[in-house]
Structure 1
């Protein structure tokens, strides 16, 4: 058995290597790849010359579910095994001497495209972080559901323990974000973690509390001239990202001034000290101001017309997933949790996923007697995975082939997005947009839970009906 297991493992490894070799060739060679990151379902590759990439060849590789050329990068949809592909790709790049970040790689032609680069950075930062915060959010949601149904007492040690460890993830979110951001900005991850830890320093928090208790301003003066405003950075993501960006600028600057023999000690010393001081003095407060400003914009839109806002967010949800910019909603939702203790946008994300599932199952219903059993099962499977929160197989394997089906799914998501926001259906913690996440809505009361259940059922049915009525199988 041991020999058989080893052979099976080696066979899988060889198959992965072969697929990656085909992918690298289709991208114009290893030297054409200037950056490689991943989110939950797709590889995000930045290449120097997109004209060298073959979309058709990429799509033909077994395991590739779709390809998107968008936002200054090539996104290759893999699915749940994307992390394995990414690790294997990194190993190949490192072994070839063409590791990501090599200075002698060709200059990226898209460096001047601000929006595209911002979206790439946002996706690169939050994609890897999502599983951790989603896991903690689901734990909080399950606890709320168990408490609401009287399965467990809110005053029990069990609830206290699990609530404490899940809340800790969100409090220390700046550290998770800083580690991920350090990879994007190509700076030492552990110094980035150290800077984030400085932002969350218990001693500074205690000092702020003591000053406020004495009716004094929560401020310190360092070196006699540098003002430090003592703020609560628990859960603050924008200040953490700005801090790591600053670190990426400070590190090479101080490194250039330190003698070679002293670099191992004095470069990290100066990089950490200067960045942490500048962050707590100016960059952190600026980040908090930006966060509050973004929260104000979203809340203002909701106050002006909650129905219209919900409709627009729902209508655009499927298309943002297609172009891989849906992660831009993650910092907005996290910011809403931090500022208001709830978020109205994440329920719309779930509605969008169920709308995609409804349209996909409608396509399956219409094609089940006219296509092969294998194709029919693939369509049905894609619809099921969309219900579970993974929409790429449905979008790229089914809906992108039918323009009207994409529109009916978007329209259904828009309609129920408007209803959801109007009824104030909301979440109190970050979770994955899946039917398994529905118990989390109980944290805001039974009525909120009922609204969420009716929403996901309603949007699925509406999307299914609209697609059945208006989409023909020859509308490819």
Structure 2
């Protein structure tokens, strides 16, 4: 895409310009190496994620000095610029930035070799970051319904509950389609063909056929061309098969393009890519994806069975650190898979505890600096703590706790302690929601005792994190 006058020009902008929004965008582009250094830009709920040709051109200090930037993380082969809740406004303004040439050199590919973990985390973050608001909204609706039902505010048999439960459950049933659209952007393949493949996986006719075959006492399988076996499975809510399907599509599409004449591409490329990919996916890839999903669920459940307390402690202890490095979305598919397999998840409550622990440590920093810090700094710290309670932790992490690493450790320790307690007493969720204090009504779906445990955990982790920070962290107010 070419730059428009409305968007940001790639210039060697002076870093002494006034703090207008447009000038800040210009400063950001210049600080990441200029327009020609940008391969692509994506975003999650709080961060701009730049894929760059040459990361050595990034001036981290200059980025951090830009008004509105909360911090910078160099991880997963990306330059992540933490903005906060206004990230979408920044992303939309930057959406006209010209990317580096598509044929940008083998050297760019070379940078990714040998970085399996970073690449995997980048893919997971890129796929689930944009999807989280949709599933969080639907999950929150399910949680609120459960809370209203449990408190007898509304009858479970009412049409109102039936309607809202149906539309919220639909989001999770059709989650493969949401994931496939997002994955298509990551794997750089046509989003609508990706959606078509996901739709094929969830074809009602195939599900009807499976039910008919099972009712007749036969195996739910088809034989295409007499040689290709198709196992008829229900892929509603299946994430891994959808991601693998789009990956396969991204490999097949270029191969199709090589032998289809230019004049025939508009018709025959989609036809062949969709047909071949759907066949391969439904015969082999999607069943393998289900096997992988079940295997991942088995690993997590095995760890919980071996030592639930230790597992909870480790997940809690590492929660704040994973947010710092931008790999916290790697937990999303695990939790969603647990919901699909077991109807509940023990890990999402720990994510919430981690966020509240960050809030507790941040508020402790505010408490210790309130009399000596400037009014502006004090208000920033308090605002960051409140935002963390509401589920957005990046301002607290990058604006406060990364400056006081011992405070970050105290938050992690508190999250580890209460993560261990949470898993041990079986505090759980039955639907995906944002990890904030607003998630509390959702715990009522697991019963009153489960709700009480969640309240205890949130209050306890805040107090412990606050107390540890006040006792052990020294604040330099110079």
TM-score of the two chains, using structure 2 as the length reference: 0.94
Shift of 1:84: 1.7
Alignment match, 1:43: 48
Alignment match, 2:259: 257
Alignment match, 2:80: 75
Segments of 5+ residues of structure 1 without an aligned counterpart are: 1-13
Alignment match, 1:107: 108
SS across alignment from 1:86: helix
2:64 to 59, 64, 84: 59
Alignment match, 1:346: 348
CA distance in 1, matches of 2:257, 2:76: 33
Superposition pairs of residues 229-244 of structure 1, within 5 angstroms = 229-244=231-246
1:268 to 265, 270, 274: 270
Alignment match, 1:194: 196
Shift of 1:109: 4.3
Contact 1:367 1:473 in 2 (8 A): yes
1:128 to 102, 121, 130: 130
Segments of 5+ residues of structure 2 without an aligned counterpart are: 1-18
1:25 to 27, 30, 39: 30
Alignment match, 2:96: 91
Contact 1:40 1:128 in 2 (8 A): yes
Q: 2:321 aligned with 1:319, yes or no?
A: yes
Shift of 1:50: 1.3
Measured against aligned partners, the alpha-carbon deviations of 1:397-428 in whole angstroms (never above 9, x if no partner) come to: 11011111011100000000000000000000
CA distance in 1, matches of 2:250, 2:419: 40
CA distance in 2, matches of 1:198, 1:116: 31
Shift of 1:21: 1.3
CA distance in 2, matches of 1:40, 1:175: 20
Shift of 1:16: 3.2
Shift of 1:33: 1.2
Contact 1:337 1:429 in 2 (8 A): yes
Contact 1:64 1:77 in 2 (8 A): yes
Contact 1:34 1:108 in 2 (8 A): no
Alignment match, 2:423: 421
Contact 1:48 1:109 in 2 (8 A): no
Contact 2:175 2:236 in 1 (8 A): yes
Alignment match, 1:410: 412
Measured against aligned partners, the alpha-carbon deviations of 1:94-118 in whole angstroms (never above 9, x if no partner) come to: xxxx36x722366244311111111
Alignment match, 2:282: 280
Alignment match, 1:470: 472
CA distance in 2, matches of 1:375, 1:400: 15
After the TM superposition, which of the residue ranges 136-145 and 27-36 deviates more from structure 2? 27-36
Alignment match, 1:9: none
Contact 1:403 1:475 in 2 (8 A): no
Alignment match, 2:307: 305
Measured against aligned partners, the alpha-carbon deviations of 1:105-145 in whole angstroms (never above 9, x if no partner) come to: 66244311111111001000000000000000000000000
Superposition pairs of residues 448-467 of structure 1, within 5 angstroms = 448-467=450-469
Shift of 1:277: 0.6
Alignment match, 1:172: 174
Shift of 1:27: 0.8
SS across alignment from 1:216: coil
CA distance in 1, matches of 2:110, 2:355: 34
Shift of 1:20: 1.6
CA distance in 1, matches of 2:27, 2:250: 34
SS across alignment from 2:133: helix
CA distance in 2, matches of 1:104, 1:149: 59
Alignment match, 1:11: none
CA distance in 2, matches of 1:188, 1:436: 37
Shift of 1:227: 0.4
Alignment match, 2:222: 220
Alignment match, 2:391: 389
SS across alignment from 2:346: coil
Aligned Cα RMSD in Å? Answer: 1.3
SS across alignment from 1:152: coil
Contact 1:119 1:328 in 2 (8 A): yes
TM-score of the two chains, using structure 1 as the length reference: 0.95
CA distance in 1, matches of 2:189, 2:168: 28
Shift of 1:148: 0.3
Contact 2:121 2:330 in 1 (8 A): yes
SS across alignment from 1:430: coil
Measured against aligned partners, the alpha-carbon deviations of 1:198-256 in whole angstroms (never above 9, x if no partner) come to: 00100000000111111100000001111000001000000000000000000110111
Shift of 1:87: 1.9
SS across alignment from 1:107: helix
Shift of 1:472: 0.6
